[in-house]
Amino acid sequence: METKTEIIAVGSELLLGQIANTNAQFLSAKLAELGVNVYYHTVVGDNQERLLQAIQTAEKRANIIIFTGGLGPTKDDLTKETLAKALGTELVTDDDAMQYIEDYYERTKRTMSENNKKQALVLQGSKVLKNEYGMAPGMALKKNETIYMMFPGPPSELQPMFTNHGRKYLLEALGEQDKIISRVLRFFGIGESQLETEIDDLIDNQSNPTIAPLAGDGEVTLRLTAKHSEETTAIQLLNETESKIRERAGEYLYGYDQSTIMQELVNVLIKEERTIASAESLTGGLFAEQMTAVKGTSAVLKGGIVCYASEVKEKQLKVKKETLEKDGAVSDQCAKELAENVREIMDSEIGIGFTGEAGPEPMEDKPVGTVYIGIALKGKETKTFLLNLAGSRDSIRKRSVKYGCYYLMKLLNEKS
């Protein structure tokens, strides 16, 4: 069955910009893992007439329609009532859901208002999806060759409901027998357009596995998804496609799935039993902060110094006065001395230094986005790297940290 999915998010608060539609993002990602195609996202306010119109439109172009929100106890929670009207079916009380709600109020020693009983109403003949983290159950129903699914709006309820119950129902309803295996390849140092150019023919000819590029946070990811009745064969298909991609862009591949470039760097440092220290002007401690968020960092991180002011660079990090006067704080030479001196001060094997101009105004006649990174490896010549980045102040700082990780891993790989 070719899947054409539409996700309809219900709630005026979404249209008013009071909350973001993270449910559609979550569901799209999870459906992609299953090889289920999402073609449309729709957002509708708490209005029955407009919701009916959205349902009628969705039925003309999708065979899976997933609703989020509008299952609560108040008058503006209209999703299941509207869908029941559209399908010409009745709402009935689900005894298990009703008992769960009553037990909740008894357990919390609160009085249940009459409108809470509304949450136990479900579409007649539907599969009830248990809500382990709230009161309103979800529902799933197949009618006229279309699958309808309803989930509560709070992400803390929707996400486990889909993972624990909705996913299984969907696969069974689709009669899916193939094993669906996904693998995410993570790249840094290459833009989305350049990566797509390198593998353009693979994307154009994709069938199984599929290849889905995604850019974000200065990185690019490729999601590979393979289907086969045998899991080992699906994995082999992924391996073959990854091998072709590695031939074109392997130098930029740093990790898989939910890993980060900082996690991968820490793993390398732990494996090689190397210690590191940081001197941070531009990044203001962001490199050390992100490193300490990774498990096992205590074995490799000696410490860091935030050296925003020039006097701190000179007095604490021993950057030469003539360097600051002649070359400036935002310079190749300053980054070099920051890396070398913090390595000596902290008695570590690696020193990394960041200096630059993140904006909003230029400094020392250097344009915003000018970044210098110095990396000092014990017993090796210190390397410096110049970046010319664009974007917001926050984006420049975050990308500078990632580039620091990327360049350091490249240097360590060259040695190994």
Query: Which is nearest to 294 in space by CA: 139, 405, 219, 393?
Result: 405
Token pair belonging to 319? 């950057």
The reply to whether the predicted model has a pTM over 0.75 is: no
Residue ranges matching CATH 3.40.980.10 in the chain: 5-174
Q: Contact, 114 vs 104, CB < 8 A?
A: no
200 by Cβ neighbours in 10 Å (0-12 / 13-18 / 19+) ranks as: exposed
Q: Beta-carbon neighbour count of residue 9 at 10 Å?
A: 23
Task: Give SS3 for 194.
Answer: helix
Coarse DSSP helix, strand, coil percentages of the chain, rounded to the nearest 5 percent: 45, 25, 30
Cβ neighbours of residue 381 closer than 8 Å, sequence gap 6 or more: none
* Strand ranges across the sheet with 127-129: 38-44, 5-10, 64-68, 146-151, 138-143, 127-129
List, in order, residues 6 or more apart from 24 with CB less than 8 Å away.
7, 9, 41, 68
The architecture (CATH level 2) of 261-415 comes to Alpha-Beta Complex (3.90)
Q: Exposed (0-12), middle (13-18) or buried (19+): which is 350, by Cβ within 10 Å?
A: buried
CATH of 179-256, one of 3.30.70.2860, 3.40.50.970, 3.40.50.1820, 3.20.20.80: 3.30.70.2860
Record the tokens describing residue 391, joined without a space. 């974007």
Output the tens digit of pLDDT for each of the chain's 416 residues. Answer: 678 999 999 999 999 999 999 999 999 988 887 878 899 999 999 999 999 999 999 999 999 999 999 998 887 889 999 999 999 999 999 998 899 888 878 887 888 888 888 888 999 999 999 998 888 999 999 998 999 999 999 999 999 999 999 999 998 998 866 777 889 999 999 988 899 999 999 998 888 898 988 877 788 999 898 888 788 999 999 999 999 999 999 999 999 988 999 999 999 999 999 999 999 999 999 999 999 999 999 999 999 999 999 999 999 999 999 999 999 999 999 999 999 999 999 999 999 999 999 988 777 788 999 999 999 999 999 999 999 999 899 999 999 999 999 999 999 988 55
Tell which residue, 378, 379, 397, 308, has the closest CA to residue 387: 397
Sheet holding 219-228, edge to edge: 210-216, 219-228, 179-188, 253-256
The answer to whether 178 and 229 have CB atoms below 8 angstroms apart is yes
Determine the Cα–Cα distance for residues 9 and 26; give it in Å rounded to an integer.
12
- Quick check: 279 and 307 in contact, CB under 8 A? yes
188, 262, 267: which is closest to 222 by C-alpha?
A: 188
Residue 218: how many other CB atoms lie within 10 Å: 20
Question: Between vectors from CA 201 to CA 198 and to CA 205, what angle results, nearest 5°?
Answer: 145
Closest CA to 212 of 63, 29, 66: 29
User: What whole-number distance in Å separates Cα of residue 299 and Cα of residue 52?
Assistant: 59
DSSP string, 8-45: EEE-HHHHTTSS--HHHHHHHHHHHHTTPPEEEEEEE-
Q: Where in the chain is the domain with CATH 3.30.70.2860?
A: 179-256
Cross-strand pairs, 256: 185
Class of domain 5-174: alpha beta
Outline which parts of the chain fall under CATH 3.90.950.20.
261-415
